[in-house]
Amino acid sequence: MTLRERPSAVPGLACLVWLGLVLLSPPTRAQAPDTEWPAYGGDAGGTRYVALGDITRENVSRLEIAWEHHSGDVCAPDSGCGSTTAYELTPILVGGWLYACTPFNRVLAIHPATGEERWAFDPEIDVAGRWANQLICRGVAHYRDASAVAGSVCAERILTNTLDSRLIALDAATGKPCPGFGVDGEVDLALGVGMVRWKGEYSHTSAPVVIGDVVVVGSAVGDNVRTNAPSGVVRGYDVRTGALRWAFDPAPPDVAPGGRSPAGWALSSPNVWAPMSVDEERDLVFLPTGNPTPDYASKWREGLDTFGSAVIAVRGSTGERVWSFQTVHGDLWDFDLPAQPTLFDLERDGRRIPALVQPTKMGLLFTLDREDGTPLFPVEERPVPPSDDGDLPVSPTQPFPTKPPPLIRHTIGPEDAWGVAFFDTRACRRWIESLRFEGVYTPPSRQGTIMLPGNAGGSNWGGVSVDTGRQLLIANVMDLPFVVTLIPREDFDRVKRENPGVEISPQDGARHGMRRETMLSPLGLPCSKPPWGKLVAVDLEAGDIRWEVPLGTVRDIAPLPIPWKAGVPNIGGPLTTESGLVFIGAAMDDYLRAFDVETGEELWAGRLPAGGQATPMSYRYEGRQYVVIAAGGHGRAGSTMGDSLVAFALPE
């Protein structure tokens, strides 16, 4: 009998081979589940943290661009637009789609694995308009209606507020305005806030937040224009109908030195232009307020500062104030709160305390109990320099947390002057000698006052990231001196005319205008010693600085592409991962970087097509982890302009 005639031989052999392969092969791993990034800050509390470990310290160097999306929405300084763009977006990811907004306020649905558009909605803002805060949209919000039939129109909606003061609800599936929300899917946010001199004086740049069935919006009001500017009122709207549910006026009920709006809200009151955060369980929305406008005038305010430059907790359902904590008394320095209050659980003595950390422009971190606003590290009232101008009364003390220490320097003198050449250093030394400076809260003056830090921070709108498991906070900060000079009213027109290109504002209603500028040497570099930008890790339990490293090089801002790691100005924020990585762009060179969260060691730098002045986000989709950052530059900061949303991932 031949082998062919023995039908059981081959099948039996094949079975043995197959069984051996099964026994010797490793078990097949199930594909890791997809994740979301459902809110601007990653979660409602803004931790900017992801529990993902696919990208690690060992493999991060292998990251490559997975896809790149171009919006086309960019206005460079010489483009002819009314303002420049700043692509400060952090997208959200819900229901398998990325939702983003462009500097022109267009809203996009983008595939998370390919970068292809599903739909685009254009609110048709006037790009040629005069926008006080550039053309900016930092993000959008998402709402899922549990009472609606799944898949029905606007059962899931994307909410966006625009530069021209509209709140818009869109169907997440189609991008079409939601019927029944306001008028044709829109609510007019300029109604009732007071006279707006030009459309861009009152606008909305940060994403709204959703708590329960209420969508909450703040506003951005043009700085230093006048004493009767639009109200800084914060409002909550019904997320289904657009009806006004509540309004929180950040001024005492008996205080309105600039008058009141048609709706009865105080004019020039502190506004909330930075991102807000939400504690759904406690029905709390946390508001980081600015200072009353104008920045450098105080005598006329008469109590309007009560809730200025403060963290305020309000009920999400009613708008009722629960508590407030002021970080600057009578703010005369434009030290308004610039960043989202970040919510986390602080581990202390075996307990977990519901906490909040508020970054500030001063480089100070205030750590508070988010249930009642009590400081979790002692806060001291320390004497600060007096004013030499009767029009500028100042508080005799300011609050300083005992821990953590300041993340940036608070002193500068002629001996600290810096330049790349002798004449450069000498010019800076003479300039410093001519100005007033007696510490971080030195009042503005007609002589000219050094502001260290300047109005850009310290921290800015990019905020911080908190790794709760490691009890580490990661912050990027700037360390730049500015100069503010008060201009007598009778000299204002002449000074304005003689100094084109310098920020000079009228402060109408006050007795002086203002001039504000970065303290730069003749060769265009800061007059203080580098680093001018840092990445800092703070031990949240101990309140100590764990490490700090310079952030960024001068490659893309110097006349020659020299990769000097000086630590440069930065705008944006950090992202941390469970695997122990910190991702950040922000610096004025065109890179996304990864650092070791434990040591601050730089592990990787990926080249971007334009400036990454944004905060990255991350997610896993179909088994692959992506890190996404907007790379469109920042017109006023002078970084490389573009229109890209870039996704990095490990090779497939």
Query: Is residue 27 predicted with pLDDT exceeding 70?
Result: no
SS (H, E, C) 452-498: CCECCECCCCCCEEEECCCCEEEEEEECCCEEEEEEEHHHHHHHHHH
Of 619, 639, 617, which Cα lies nearest the Cα of 630? 617
The single-letter DSSP state of residue 85 is B
Cα–Cα distance measured from residue 186 to residue 208, given in angstroms and rounded to the nearest whole number: 14
Nearest to 103 by CA among 639, 501, 631, 640: 631
CA atoms within 13 A of residue 136's CA, in its CB half-sphere: 25
pLDDT in the model for residue 408: 97
Residue 531 CA: distances (Å) to CA of 9, 429, 443, 521, 554: 77, 18, 25, 15, 11
One CATH from 3.40.50.150, 2.40.128.110, 2.140.10.10, 2.40.100.10 for 29-649: 2.140.10.10
Average pLDDT score over the chain: 93
- How confident is residue 31, by pLDDT bands cut at 50, 70 and 90? confident
Check: CB of residue 586 under 8 Å from CB of residue 551: yes
Instruction: Count the Cβ atoms, other than its own, within 10 Å of residue 448.
Output: 17
Q: What's the predicted TM-score (pTM) here?
A: 0.94
Whether the CB-CB separation of 507 and 226 falls below 8 Å is answered with yes
The verdict on whether 334 is a catalytic residue reads yes
In this model, does residue 13 exceed pLDDT 50?
Answer: no
What average pLDDT does the segment 356-368 reach? 98
Q: Is the predicted pLDDT of residue 559 greater than 90, yes or no? A: no
Mean predicted confidence (pLDDT) in 489-516: 94
CA distance 587 to 385: 33
Domain ranges of the chain: 29-649
Does the structure show a pLDDT above 90 at 560?
A: no
Q: Is 605 left (phi over 0), alpha (psi -120 to 50) or beta?
A: beta
Helix (H, G, I), strand (E, B) or coil at 127: coil
Cα 44 to the center of its chain, rounded Å: 14
Q: Rounded distance, CA 164 to CA 136, Å?
A: 11
In total, the chain counts a number of residues equal to 652
Q: How many CB atoms lie within 10 A of CB 447?
A: 12
Question: Which of 249, 283, 295, 334 is flagged as catalytic?
Answer: 334
pLDDT > 70? residue 498: yes
Confidence of residue 78 (pLDDT cuts 50, 70, 90): confident
Q: Report the distance separating Cα 294 and Cα 296, nearest Å.
A: 6
Residue 260 has pLDDT above 60, yes or no: yes
Q: Quote the DSSP letter at residue 21.
A: H
From 561, 556, 651, select the one nearest 612 (Cα to Cα): 556
Residue 232, both tokens? 């800084």
